[in-house]
Structures are given as C-alpha cells and as structure tokens.
Structure 1
Amino acid sequence: MDLHFCWEIHVTRNHQNIGDIIQSLNTHRVNTLTELCRIERIAASGSEDDQLAFQEPMTSAWSYYVNSNQMLNELRNLTRDYPFSSDVLDDAKWRVSNDPASNRTWNYAWLVLIKMKDDEMIEAYAASEAAKPEMWAGRTPDDEEAQQLAACFAYAWNSALEQMLRHWDTAPSRTGN
C-alpha cells in the first residue's frame, strides 16, 4: 500500500471525526463538563484550520452547557447535602457578561467558574443562603446557627468549584488551549 494513500485515508477519517464531533456540539448531544473538556482538548491539539472550525461550535456548546442548567445540575450533583445555589451561578454569569476581559476564551463555563472563585462569591452567597428562614423551617436563625450552616455551604460549594476547575491544567484561551 502506498504511504501517500495511507495518509489520505488518515486525513479523510480525521476530517470525518472532526465533522462528527462538531455535529455533536451543534446538536448538543455532548453536554457534560467532562465531555466538553475532552473535545476542547481535541480542538486545541488540532491544526489551525481545525481550531477555526471548532471555534463557533465550541463557543456555542459551552454557552448551552451553562445556560441550559446542565452546569447547575452538575454543581448540585457535587453538593447533594448542601445544594449549590442558582443565585451564585446567575450572578457569576451576569458578572462575566459585564466583564470586558471575558472575551479571552470561548469557554463560558470556565469564565463563570473562575469568576466565582476570583470574586470570592461562594462565601457571600453561602452566608445569605444560610440566613434564609426557609433553611430553618420558617424561623430566623441566630447568628451562630447561620454561621455554622454558611460554613457547611461554603465548604461544599468551594469543593465542587475546585473539582470542576480541575478539568483545566491551564486557563483556556481564545483558541481553546
């Protein structure tokens, strides 16, 4: 078999695989943090043309992941005893959308997670959540009770945040690597 022919088969299969991956992004068949990160690594390791082909579908897939509540679902699966607050996520999304530096990557999920961390949002929202009367069967907790519950929320939420951020060795860039 001719070496050139083998290379053409490899390139054709690679293009088909990239096309299939892009299609899975466009149809949202892939919508978990782990799988999106895996595809992001594939995109980052590709040629410049491949990276360009991935840019719009990857951007769209990350946005869908965050806005479809999948990100919130994954955070809540990591914080079953102290369910992650949607208010933290909504505020982080708002802050990212109003941050001029948010165009540094196509990865909206990473931007939202790193915003929570950098702005130290967890502690503030944990305290707010712990002070809600619905957390205490309708009564207002005393300061010590609220502080103890806030510490539990903060620990669980920060652990989930760190676990999700471990998917990236380095901050994703505009081209995905």
Structure 2
Amino acid sequence: MNYLVLFLFLFTAHISASAPFGIKWGESISTYSVGKRTPEYKQVKVTFLPQNHSKAAVYYLREIPSKGIQSVTMKTDVFDIHSSVRDELFNYFKDSLIKSGYRTLKHNEGTLSSYKCLIQSLCYGASWSGIDKLDDMVYLKIKSIDKQLGYISIQIKSSIFLEYIATKNKKYRVHSDKIKEQDTLSFTSDFPPS
C-alpha cells in the first residue's frame, strides 16, 4: 500500500513539475491558445511563453488527453548554416541544458560542412540528446532548410509524454501486425467457399 501512495505522490508531483520556459507540465494548453487536435495530442504554436528565451522564434506546446502539456519545442530564427553562429548557438544551448540538469545520452556531428551536403544536398546538422533526473528527455538539433539556411530546434518531452507515445506506438504495431497477418491469409485457399 505504501508503494502505491509513493507512486501516486511522484506521479502527481511530476504532472505539476516545472517545465522549460516558465510553463508547468500538466497545465492546460488553453492557457496559451486554442490548439489544433491531432490523433495523438493537441498542439499549439505560440511566439511567447512566461520565461521567453531571447533566441526563440516560435514554440510548439503539446498536450495529451487528461495529462495537460507534456512536450514543448522551441525553434530559433533562421540563420546561415555555414556561419559561425550555427556552432556557437548549438554549443550555447547544449551547455545551458547540461547546466540545468540534463546529462548527455548521445551526441552526433552533422554533415553541414561536408562534401555530401555541399554537392549532393544530403545534409543534417549536429544533434545532442539528454535526460534529467525525472526521465524527461531533451533533443537539440541543427536542421537545414536548404543548402544555405537552417535553424536550431530544442524539443523537451516529459517522461509522461514519452510513455504515452510508447504505448500508442505499441498499440499501432500490434494492430499493424494483425493486418499483415490477415493480408497474408487473404492469399491462401484455407477459407471455405461461399
């Protein structure tokens, strides 16, 4: 019984825990705007949050049913991806996230200055991901728009959001496997004639 009480306390504490940019995990998305509903969650695009970051151009907030806001993405303004701004800004964000309590899970160098990017347009920017003590994940990426322009995206997902998406994906895979099995059987002659 004590474990149940502890679990409920931790779960409730995380729902109202601080999230980035002055929002709270679990608060209603309607606080910020009327969102657009997708099959998985409600999403809203805003240009200002309570603790706005000076490099933010736009934010995307995602709310899942009965759990409130559980994911936020910040995008910077567009910049020349071959300028020094790209790496300076990326490193600034990465260092800030580490100082705020995220530990590094993965770091990948990008191909924005490589032959493949410049000649063949096979570009992707550096990426970094981290996790905090509540198992919230952060994804930092440099994204190219074309050969010259790009932006930086910081996506933070609460552990509740990650669990929700994992459950949805598992249900989708089970459904997809059933359809594949049914499709395979449709070519057999094991069915009685009608």
Instruction: Calculate the TM-score normalised by the size of structure 2.
Output: 0.24
Higher helix share: 1
The structure, 1 or 2, with the larger RCO (C-alpha pairs under 8 Å, 6+ apart) is: 1
Instruction: Calculate the TM-score normalised by the size of structure 1.
Output: 0.26
